[in-house]
Amino acid sequence: MRYAIVGCGSRHEMFVRALTGPFADRHQLVALCDSNPVRLNMSRRNAGGGVGAYPAQDFARMLGETTPDVVIVATPDHLHATYVIAALDAGCDVICEKPLTVDAASLRAITLAQARSRGTVKVTFNYRYAPARSQIRDLLADGAIGQVVAVNFRWQLDRIHGADYFRRWHRQMENSGGLQVHKCTHHFDLLNWWLDSAPQSVAGSGQRAFYTPQTAERYGLAQHGKRCTGCAVKLDCPFALDLGADARLDAMYRAAEGADGYHRDLCIFDPEITIEDTLQAHIRYASGAVANYTLSAYAPQEGLQVTFIGTEGELHHQHTELHGIFGGTRSAHEHEHMSTVLHRSGHAPRNIPIPETQGDHGGADPVMLGYLLAPDSMPDLPHMAAPDTRAGCLSVATGLALVQSISTGQTVAISDILQPDWFAMG
C-alpha cells in the first residue's frame, strides 16, 4: 500500500519510522505534506529517498501525483476534518490522529464524506492497545463483575506533560477543542470501549486553576514574557522550556519558527489561554452505566485510577507513571507501578497479573501500529480492530457535550451533537 502523511511534526515521526522500518516490506511512504517548509524538508530527509514533499496548498496535487492508498492525518486537531474529507473524496483510506475533529459541524461533514466515499477512516486511539487496558476490556466483557453499573475514572497529567498543552496550539479552544476534546478523547473512547456502550448525556464542570497569571505571581514570576525564549524570569521558572537545549526540539521547532511563527515555548501563564486544566464529567451510557470522570493537568504524578462497580463485584485498575515533583524535574521511576485487582463479591480480592510490555504509551503504540498497518499479522480479535469513524465521533461528541455543559450548566444530550443514523452507511 502507498501512504502519504500530512502534518510532519512530532507525532508523524512514529508513522515514518513504522513505514520505513518494520512495515517497509508491505508498505511504501510516497509523500509528505506540511505548511512549514523546514519541518517538511527535515521529514523528507529522515524518510530517506524517493518520498515526495508537498506544501500544504498542494495537498490535492500530492494526491493526484503520488496516488496514495492511505493518507495519515497528523496536523493540529482543527485541521483534521479538511484533510480527512479531502482524502475520502479522493477515494483514499484515512488514518487520523486523535481527536477526529474539534467541532460538531465537522463531525457531521466527516460522516457525510465517509458515507459517499469508498475509503475507510481509522482513528489512532492508541490507549486501547496497552495490554493493561485491553485486559480490562476482556475482564469486563467476560462478566468478571457482572453488569457494570458505575465507574469512577481519574486521569492525572503531571506538570511536565500537562504544561505542554498550555505552550502551543492546544492552548486555544478553537485549535484543540480544549482538553475535553484533545486529551479526553482518549479517555472517553476507553470508557465507550470498556463498557461496550455509547454515551447518552454529559453534565460537567471545568476551570483553569493552575496555568494562570495568578500562579505566576504566586511563584514570583509575574515579570514573565510571552515565551520562554528571551523571558526575563526564565532562570527562575521551573517550567521554562529551553528549545535549544534539546536537539530534536531545536531542529523541529526552533529552527522552523521563522517560516510560520509557530512558537513551541509560549508562556504557560499567559492570560490569553482559553482552555481549562481541571475537568469533571458525569456521563450516562446506553447500557445504564454511569461514569464520573476527572482530569487534572497539574498533578504531582502521571497516572490513572479507575474503579468499575458491577452487580457481582468491583474491578480496580491503577497506573502511577512518572512523578513530576515540580516543574521540569522528574524523580526516578522507582514509584512507577501498575495494578489490576478483581474483587468479586464473596471472594478475596485478587491481583490480576498484567502482561509485560515495551514501547511508547505503555506498550500501546507498537500494538496499535500492528492493527493499523498489518492487521492480518495480529490476533483476529474484532474488538481490537482499529477504531472507526463512529468511535472517533462518539468520543469527540462526549468532549463537545462537556464543553457545552461547562458553559451552560445544563446536562447535554449526545443526540444534540450527533445522530446514530449518521453511521448507518459508515
Ligand X SMILES: NC(=O)c1ccc[n+]([C@@H]2O[C@H](COP(=O)([O-])OP(=O)(O)OC[C@H]3O[C@@H](n4cnc5c(N)ncnc54)[C@H](O)[C@@H]3O)[C@@H](O)[C@H]2O)c1
Q: How many residues bind ligand X (CB under 6 A)?
A: 23
Best CA proximity match to 268, nearest among 184, 183, 176, 159: 159
Question: Would you report the helix, strand and coil content of the chain in percent, each value rounded to 5?
Answer: 40, 25, 35
Indicate whether 128 belongs to the interface with ligand X (CB under 6 A). Answer: no
> Do the Cβ atoms of 128 and 189 come closer than 8 Å?
yes
The pair phi, psi for residue 419, each rounded to 5°, is: -115, 140
Indicate whether 395 belongs to the interface with ligand X (CB under 6 A). Answer: no
Indicate whether 108 belongs to the interface with ligand X (CB under 6 A). Answer: no
Nearest distance in Å: CB 43, ligand X:
8
Q: Which of 27, 44, 78, 98 binds ligand X (CB under 6 A)?
A: 98
Q: How far, CA to CA in Å, does 61 sit from each of 32, 64, 85, 187, 237?
A: 12, 5, 15, 37, 46
Range 201-212 burial, b when 16+ CB lie within 10 A, else e:
bbbbebebebbb
CA 354, distance to chain mean position in Å, is 23
Indicate whether 68 belongs to the interface with ligand X (CB under 6 A). Answer: no
Q: Which of 66, 101, 106, 124 binds ligand X (CB under 6 A)?
A: 124
Interaction mask 173-192, ligand X, x per CB under 6 A: ---------x----------
Q: How far apart are CA 275 and CA 277, in angstroms?
A: 7
Which among 73-81, 139-147, 219-227, 228-236 is the span making contact with ligand X, rule CB under 6 A?
73-81
Nearest distance in Å: CB 359, ligand X:
12
Paired strand residues for 266:
227
Q: Which of 47, 62, 76, 229 binds ligand X (CB under 6 A)?
A: 76
Query: Residue 233, exposed/middle/buried by CB under 10 A (0-12, 13-18, 19+)?
Result: middle
Indicate whether 399 belongs to the interface with ligand X (CB under 6 A). Answer: no
Indicate whether 47 belongs to the interface with ligand X (CB under 6 A). Answer: no
Q: Which residue is nearest to ligand X (CB)?
A: 9
Q: What is residue 354's DSSP assignment? A: P
Indicate whether 363 belongs to the interface with ligand X (CB under 6 A). Answer: no
Q: How far apart are CA 218 and CA 207, in angstroms?
A: 18
Which among 4-12, 136-144, 196-204, 220-228 is the span making contact with ligand X, rule CB under 6 A?
4-12
Indicate whether 66 belongs to the interface with ligand X (CB under 6 A). Answer: no
Q: Which of 16, 18, 97, 156 binds ligand X (CB under 6 A)?
A: 97
Query: Residue 48, exposed/middle/buried by CB under 10 A (0-12, 13-18, 19+)?
Result: exposed
> Do the Cβ atoms of 248 and 264 come closer than 8 Å?
no
C-beta closer to ligand X: residue 30 or 412: 30
Indicate whether 287 belongs to the interface with ligand X (CB under 6 A). Answer: no
Q: How far apart are CA 147 and CA 151, in angstroms?
A: 12
C-beta closer to ligand X: residue 236 or 360: 360
Other CB atoms within 10 Å distance of the CB of residue 266: 21
C-beta closer to ligand X: residue 53 or 289: 53
Indicate whether 405 belongs to the interface with ligand X (CB under 6 A). Answer: no
Nearest distance in Å: CB 113, ligand X:
18
> Do the Cβ atoms of 184 and 399 come closer than 8 Å?
yes
Q: Considering only residues 27 through 46, tell me which ones interact with ligand X, judged by CB under 6 A.
A: 33-36, 39
Interaction mask 237-256, ligand X, x per CB under 6 A: --------------------
Nearest distance in Å: CB 257, ligand X:
10
What are the residues binding ligand X (CB under 6 A)? 6-11, 33-36, 39, 56, 74-77, 79, 97-98, 124, 126, 182, 361
